[in-house]
Structure 1
C-alpha cells in the first residue's frame, strides 16, 4: 500500500497550483490535494480565516479519508498549517515538509504582507493575476478571499499561533525547504525553525523564488522522495 501524501497550498492560492508536483509524486504516494475553506471554489466558512480553522479542516479530511503513513507537504501558508497540525495532532502525521513558509509573524511583518493583498492595486498593476485569482476561487469573490486573508495575517501579527518554543516540541521528522531567490521568507527565520525542531533537515533550492508557479516540480518531488 502506498504511503499517503497530503499537499497544502499557500495563502490566497488553491490546490490546482500544485498539480504538477502532485503528478510527479503520484507514482510512489497516494496523493491528496486539499483546498482550505473558501479557497479553490470551496464554500466560504462562517468564521474568519485562521490557522486553527484551516488546521481543523485538514484534520477532518485526514480522519474522514483514513490517511495512513501520512506525509504532509505544505507550500507557504500550507507549511505553517502543517506545523500547527504537527504541534497539536502529532499522532496523525509521520512527516512534515514545508517550502517557502513564513514562520516569523509580528505586527510589522503582517503590515508589510497585507500591502500585497490590495485588490484594487492588483487589478490595476497585474490584471492577469487578478483574472487568475478570479478563476481559481470561483464562484467565490477573490477580493473577499484577499480581505479575509489580510484580516488573518493581522491577527497572526498580533498573536503568532506558533511561538518559537512550540517548535521544540514538534518531534515529527521534518524537511524545511526554502528557495534561494525567495523575497518573502528570510533565511534567518527558516534556519531558526530548522534548528529548533528536534528532528529536521533543511534544503535550499537553487534558482527558486517564492511563487509556486516558478518552483521546479521535478526538484521539489526529488527532495520529498529522498528524505
Structure 2
C-alpha cells in the first residue's frame, strides 16, 4: 500500500486465476476502506485489447470519491505474462468472474472499454449476481465492420482525435503486449456478438461513446443500448474511443448518475 499526497492509496496484487496470470490495481481515498462495502459505490474497470489499465488512471481518480476502484489487467496484456493457452472473450470474462468471487465484491459497477465491454457483457450475462450496474464504453464490434481491415481503418480514423498523452500510453501498452498475443485474441473480439449477448444482461446498462469514436459509431451504440433489457446510451462531445482518458470528469459523472438509478 502506497499512500499518495492527495490521500489516494493504491495496492497492486498479482495472482493466478484459472491458470492465467492477472494483476489488479486497487485505489481508494483515505478512510474509504473502512466504509462497509454495501454502502460504497465500488467500481471495476476492464480494459480493451492490446492495452492495460494504465489509461484508466484519470477515470479511477475521478470515481474514487464514492468507493473503491479496482482496475484489472487481463492475462497477456501490458506487461502481464502471456498465459499458456489462447483465451477468448468468454475466457477473459470467466477470469474476471473468478477474481470478483475471490475478493468478494458486493455487486460493483463493472465498466468495460472496447473489447473490455465484451468481457463485461459476457460476465453480466453469465453471472448477473456479480454486477450491480454495467457500463460499456466504446463497445466492439459493430456488425458492419467485423473484419480486421475495417477495424484497423476505424482505429486509424479515431486515433487522430485522441490526445498525444493517450496515444503514447496506448502505444506503450501495445509494445508491451506484443503483436503475437494481440493477433491471438483479435479473432474472438471480431466474432463476439455484443448486440445479442447484451439482451441476456438483466442489470441496468449504460453505453457510452465519444463523439469522434469511429470504432463505436452512434447507431451501433444505440443498437446495443436498445438491445439491453434496461439500457441507455450517452455521448461525450469532443471525445474519441478512449473517451475516459481525456474526458474523465464527464464519464465519471455519467457513471455516477447511472449508479444512482
Normalising by structure 1, what TM-score?
A: 0.81
CA RMSD, 1 decimal = 2.8
Structure 1 residues 66 and 149: alpha-carbon distance in aligned structure 2, compared to 1, 3 A threshold:
same
- Please list every run of 5 or more consecutive structure 1 residues that lacks an aligned counterpart in the other structure: 118-127
Instruction: For residue 74 of structure 1, report the CA deviation from its aligned partner.
Output: 1.2
Instruction: Give distance in 1, aligned partners of 2:153 and 2:205.
Output: 31
Runs of 4+ in 1 over 6 A off after TM superposition: 128-131
Structure 1 contact 106–156 (Cα < 8 Å) conserved: no
Instruction: For residue 9 of structure 1, report the CA deviation from its aligned partner.
Output: 1.2
Question: What count of residue pairs does the alignment treat as equivalent?
Answer: 212
Instruction: For residue 50 of structure 1, report the CA deviation from its aligned partner.
Output: 1.5
Matches within 5 A, 1:186-197: 186-197=217-228
Instruction: Give distance in 1, aligned partners of 2:218 and 2:53.
Output: 26
Structure 1 residues 41 and 187: alpha-carbon distance in aligned structure 2, compared to 1, 3 A threshold:
same
Residue equivalent to 1:147: 180
Residue equivalent to 1:24: 62
- Please list every run of 5 or more consecutive structure 2 residues that lacks an aligned counterpart in the other structure: 1-35, 156-164
Structure 1 residues 108 and 202: alpha-carbon distance in aligned structure 2, compared to 1, 3 A threshold:
closer
Cα shift readout 1:85-123 (whole Å, capped 9, x = no counterpart): 111111111110011111335785333225789xxxxxx
Matches within 5 A, 1:62-211: 62-105=100-143, 108-114=146-152, 132=169, 135-136=172-173, 142=176, 144=178, 146-157=179-190, 160-162=191-193, 164-211=195-242
Cα shift readout 1:26-60 (whole Å, capped 9, x = no counterpart): 11021101101012321211111421221122112
Choose between structure 1 and 2: higher strand proportion: 2
Instruction: Give distance in 2, aligned partners of 1:215 and 1:131.
Output: 13
SS in 1 for 2:110: strand
Instruction: For residue 155 of structure 1, report the CA deviation from its aligned partner.
Output: 4.0
